[in-house]
Amino acid sequence: MTQDSPQAGVHAVPPPVGPAARRATRPVTVRWRDRAVQVGGTAPVVVQSMTNTDTTDAAATAAQVRDLAQAGSELVRITVNTPEAAREVPAIREQLDRMGVHVPLVGDFHYNGHKLLSQFPDCAQALSKYRINPGNMGGGKKRDDNFAQMIEIACRYDKPVRIGVNWGSLDHELMARMMDDNSRRPQPWDAQAVMRDALVVSAISNARRAEELGLSPNAIVLSCKVSHVQDLIAVYRDLSARCDYPLHLGLTEAGMGSKGIVASTAALAVLLQEGIGDTIRISLTPEPGGDRAREVIVAQEILQTMGMRAFTPMVVACPGCGRTSSTFFQELADSIQGYLRRQMPLWKQHYPGVETMNVAVMGCVVNGPGESRHADIGISLPGTGEVPAAPVFIDGQRTVTLKGATIAQEFQAIVEQYVQRRYGKPDAQ
């Protein structure tokens, strides 16, 4: 037997590459007028986000919802925490409808959601989905009554509900009871393991209670939010094995900047690769004055780089080295990426499939021509000391060579022409 034979451990057929099959879940539809977003079932993973405006400022909130929707958020959650906020929800919905933005709105309720939905029926109707956290609805019979009231309203208005359990507001009575039970085990678990189990038990038991109160099982989404990567992975693996409700993924309080992006990606990528998760939100803390839509872009890029969805053409660009001391290729890569994203609202209407396009912007002759050939369209810029010429490759073939100070403008025009030719509808050409 040779070392290269299949019997020695070499695969005769290459193993499959890509995410595992999605776990089977119930489909839940979130609607507003002609817009219907399915979460779970056979639907792709849904991207959602949340505003950080004061909901009492209807104009500012509607504007941010519009921006998040235009960035690609398919559901947008807004805080409904006071009577004043609840009163403005219909106005927010009306402003969005006038702007032609029909993204479904999710109401985020804590403590007093049962009162607000009862006192403001127009708010209850204008929202497309309710988010309930059972851990902060009181204790004992009061909690049960408040929860039942919210579920009854959801049934009345035919609204789906996300039952979202959070480790920062876990039901204290449940946790105490499970800690007592754990102390009687022959080999007790550590407190962190009990907390993880309590999150799962709370989510599922509240979902079962909602069904007993009349809510359809096809109107329930679950989440168990924690802020540490390994806890999130463990909790969702357990949750997904114990129920068939669709799951909302998100690392709560992920943090700012690269830390928040890295932590969220590390957690969600593992779960998505295992087929777990039906909708995601990236909970980034924005820098002062930062763009809230960044969390939408990060969510999209996680799904797209994993090969699960396509949202906008992706740019492959080298990191740069001593051969690429000029910043020109960096500026061109950034310019092209921004151009592609800005064009997408128009392109997705007229050029179906353009979101799968790959563009390469490379900085020298080492890997540049090869990477450019592998892309749909690519350019290999001259590195330091190289001949000042930039060959362009289209569908693997070298076509033209650009020179001079107008390389960026000429390449952008070539990309535009390529999109029109390859993705344009035949009857429009």
CA separation for the pair 429, 420 (Å, rounded)? 8
Q: How many CB atoms lie within 10 A of CB 367?
A: 13
* Binding-site residues for [4Fe-4S] cluster: 318, 321, 364, 371
Cβ contacts of residue 30 below 8 Å, gap of 6+? Answer: 36, 37, 38, 39, 75, 104, 106, 128, 129, 160
* Binding-site residues: 318, 321, 364, 371
For residue 402 the two structure tokens come to 């650009």
